[in-house]
Amino acid sequence: MKYDYVIVGAGLYGASLAYLAKKAGKRCIVLEKRSHIAGNIYTENVEGIAVHRYGAHIFHTNDKKVWEFINLFGEFNSYINSPLAYYKGKLYNLPFNMNTFYQMWGVIRPEEAKAKIEEQRKARYVTEPRNLEEQAINLVGSDIYEVLIKGYTEKQWGRPCTELPPEIIKRLPVRFIFDNNYFNARYQGIPVQGYTALVAAMLEGVEVRLETDFLADKQKWLSEAERLIYTGPIDAYFDYEYGPLEYRSLRFETEVLDTDNYQGNAVINYTEREIPYTRIIEHKHFAFGQQPKTVITREYSKTWQLGDEPYYPVGNTENQALYSRYHALAERERKVIFGGRLGEYKYYDMDQVLARALETASTLGLGL
């Protein structure tokens, strides 16, 4: 075989495995169909600002091993994500915490906030929430659900909250302290040099072929590889044999503005159904930028169709069932490992992708 590892995808998962394989002395090559490395965490320099081309990415984790691993490749700043939500002319702090409860109801003390939520959820409480709406009302009551969750979620996922799994909303913390940190994470930050530099450091010394679609030459690459690591969509690998899995795609509208500060925060969510975008990102605030100009991106969610970028797996029961069928096919591809957000069809954050990559590396005997 020409290669010990052919790695499909130069995103975080593929790049981590390429780094570990190279370090273990393996012959490897990375194939990437885009014209750049780093997958969805790609950042590019515009007016001296690191622009997150595929949506805002904030690294956060509770996993010390993952944090130490990612820090091998570059320094992180001390950014803490504290997005705001805009609804009908008012701003609310996220995630749901005492600041939000104060802004919503004027309550000052935690027990007043708890009483307010209790009063609202009593009427509609269900022991085992079956969908996102029931879960959200159980967690924060109906006012917050109506103002901060319903419109945003329905734009984001393109379907009613009653048809979405409860897990999605459990991603967000609910706190009875005044704390706007969006994540419950011990470690958090943004790479000082941008994510692309971080991934470039992982890939140093590894052969990377850009603008190379593995699926266009699948048999050739398989025949040259001892093992193949595939981080593209699992359904695409099997030529959509059972039909496509469902994804959400995104459209980004980016503008350079001739002002040094447009919205005063890195992320503002627009939770009204009537506003077509879900959020506006002002990139410089991720890195405390002082540039004279600013770059903003409006993010619109859209239905995925063949040819669009599949950003989010839609993890409802039907898609999980379809994924299980593809997973069964994948188990038969003895030399192929399916990894990453698309290869495993899981709504993984970056730290989860890294944890999975480290696990895989260890089963392959590619230690740190």
Q: Residue numbers of the site for ligand FAD (CB under 6 A)?
A: 8-14, 31-34, 39-41, 55-59, 213-215, 231-232, 250, 311, 340-342, 348-351, 353
Active-site annotation holds for 349? yes
C-beta of residue 333 within 8 angstroms of C-beta of residue 273: no
* Cβ neighbours of residue 317 closer than 8 Å, sequence gap 6 or more: 165
C-beta of residue 283 within 8 angstroms of C-beta of residue 335: no
Per-residue x/- track, 121-150, ligand UDP (CB under 6 A): ---------------------------xx-
* Cβ neighbours of residue 220 closer than 8 Å, sequence gap 6 or more: none
Considering the candidates 34, 121, 175, 227, report the single residue annotated as catalytic.
Answer: 175
Indicate which single residue of 28, 113, 168, 200 sits in contact with ligand UDP (rule: CB under 6 A): 168
Residue 28 interacts with ligand UDP (CB under 6 A): yes or no? no
Residue with tokens 């002082």: 290
User: Among ligand FAD, ligand UDP, none, what binds residue 156 when CB lies within 5 to 8 Å by partner kind?
Assistant: ligand UDP
Residue 152 interacts with ligand UDP (CB under 6 A): yes or no? yes
Q: Quick one: tokens of 59?
A: 């690294």
User: Among ligand FAD, ligand UDP, none, what binds residue 171 when CB lies within 5 to 8 Å by partner kind?
Assistant: ligand UDP
Q: Minimum distance between the CB of residue 148 and ligand UDP, rounded to whole angstroms?
A: 5
Report 83-102 residues binding ligand UDP (CB under 6 A).
85, 94
**Core vs surface per residue 105-118: b (16+ CB within 10 A) or e:** bebeeeeebeebbe
11-to-109, 199, 203, 354, 357 alpha-carbon distances in Å: 45, 8, 10, 11, 11
3-state secondary structure of 294: strand
Which residue type is seen at 332? R
Residue 38 interacts with ligand UDP (CB under 6 A): yes or no? no
Considering the candidates 86, 102, 300, 347, report the single residue annotated as catalytic.
Answer: 347
Active-site annotation holds for 53? no
User: Among ligand UDP, ligand FAD, none, what binds residue 32 when CB lies within 5 to 8 Å by partner kind?
Assistant: ligand FAD
Q: Looking at beta carbons only, is 136 or 350 nearer to ligand FAD?
A: 350
**Alpha carbon distance 246, 220 (integer Å):** 29
Active-site annotation holds for 152? no
Nearest Cα neighbor of 13 from 69, 77, 75 is 69
Active-site annotation holds for 175? yes
Active site residues: 171, 175, 248, 279, 299, 347, 349
